[in-house]
Copies of this chain bind each other. A is one copy, B any other.
Amino acid sequence: MLDFTFHNATKIIFGRNTEKKVGEEISKLGKKVLFHYGGGSIKKTGIYDRVVESLKKAGVEIFELGGVKPNPRLSLVKEGIELCRKNGIDAILAVGGGSVIDSAKAIGIGVPYEGDVWDFYSKGKKVEEMLPLGVVLTIPAAGSESSGGSVITNEDGWYKRSTNSVNMRAKFAIMNPELTFTLPNYQTAVGAVDIMSHVMERYFTNVKNVDFTDRLCEATLRTMIRNTPIALKEPENYDARAEIMWAGTIAHNDLLSTGRIGDWATHGMEHELSAIYDIAHGGGLAIMWAPWMTYVYKHDIERFAQFAYRVWDVEPDFRNPEKAALEGIKGLKEFFASLGIPVTLTDAGIPDDRFDEMAKKATEDGPLGQFVKLYKDDVKKIYELAK
């Protein structure tokens, strides 16, 4: 186990009707609040009205900025920064999923920073300060409600880049599983893939003796494997929705990576896909995992065999751990397919004519991945395996 610091102060307020507490909570953080959200879905479902009512009751001044798109854009972030500066806004409320929260974080770190906010994403500039952020989560997937991460797409060149800091955690996250009842099945499925991906990126590590976090990762994956099909079949099953929502937070709040180094190559390869094709992040991940695993599993067959045994119930075959490892990868791919989403680029309608360009962009800041380092040619081969 490696040395680590773990500090996660996000207050989780979880359960039925919890969005009614948003006014009370946000008023502890500021008086002038940027209310940031995405498309019209929160208006259709009534969440918008309940949030506004709660904010008004708490007496905070509301400044609205909607319009966040999946793969949130730098241009809207800059608009948000200007809005905050012009009006002396002192807190941000993000109501939505990962895109909205990531966009809110970008605005929050941009306001007190004199330079270009893209520096944090492209130049490794460290985040020291962020406007206090509260969240009402409506889509369990990105884990951004309690992570220190944010991913933004710069339309100038369609670069999708991330930044990460303990200073970027939300102060509170309100999580009502009922708000996820209306998610279309596709979104539930790709959200589940995203959650499982956060665990797997941490799971595949070269750090030895990480028994406890291995097991916590496996517990989280098994929870998703059990509950996601239930939620797809019964969208209003509170308990399945609740398990998924809470697992989604823990998957990405950094507990599961304490003392270990994750890989993150699959995220890197996926970011190139969704930056160009505007496929959902989880949709891209569902396609990229099995090819990545197939390409790298020989690097640590024992770890892949453990993954197969503990997560996918593959019988341990001590004379042939490689067979078990491959069965685990098959188990993962079949599970993703069973969620009703494409698991190949072809099925997703993504052509093979830009692999070279994507591989180049994915590795232009250096090779991808910590578990196995992947250079441009490796990445290209993995895209080929994903066809």
Contact = CB atoms under 8 A, between A and B. Distances in A.
Interface of A: 1-16, 18, 208-209, 211-212, 215-216, 218-220, 222-223, 226-227, 238-239, 242-243, 246-247, 250, 255, 258-259
B15 A4 contact: yes
Contact of A246 (B13, B220, B259): B259
Nearest to A224: B212
9 contacts: A3-B16, A5-B14, A7-B10, A208-B239, A212-B219, A212-B247, A215-B219, A216-B250, A246-B259
A242 to B, nearest CB: 4
A212 B216 contact: no
A208 B7 CA distance: 31
A4 B14 CA distance: 5
A250 B259 CA distance: 14
A227 B211 CA distance: 9
A7 B11 contact: yes
Contact of A211 (B243, B255, B259): B243
Contacts of A5: 11-14
A251 to B, nearest CB: 10
Nearest to A15: B3
A227 B220 CA distance: 21
Given A259-B242, A259-B246, A220 B212 contact: yes
Contacts of A227: 211
List 3 tightest A-B contacts by C-beta distance, closest first.
A3-B15, A215-B219, A209-B239
Contacts of A219: 212, 215-216, 218-219
Nearest to A244: B212
A320 to B, nearest CB: 22
Contacts of A215: 219-220, 222-223
Contact of A3 (B14, B220, B223): B14
Q: Which of A12, A238, A258 has the most CB of B within 10 A?
A: A12
A255 B14 CA distance: 13
A1 B211 contact: no
A209 B250 CA distance: 18
Given A7-B11, A14-B259, A255-B255, 9 more contacts: A1-B242, A3-B18, A5-B11, A6-B14, A8-B8, A211-B227, A211-B243, A215-B222, A216-B250
A48 B77 CA distance: 51
A258 B211 contact: no
Nearest to A212: B223
A97 to B, nearest CB: 20
A40 B17 CA distance: 52
A250 B255 CA distance: 10
Contacts of A1: 238-239, 242-243, 246
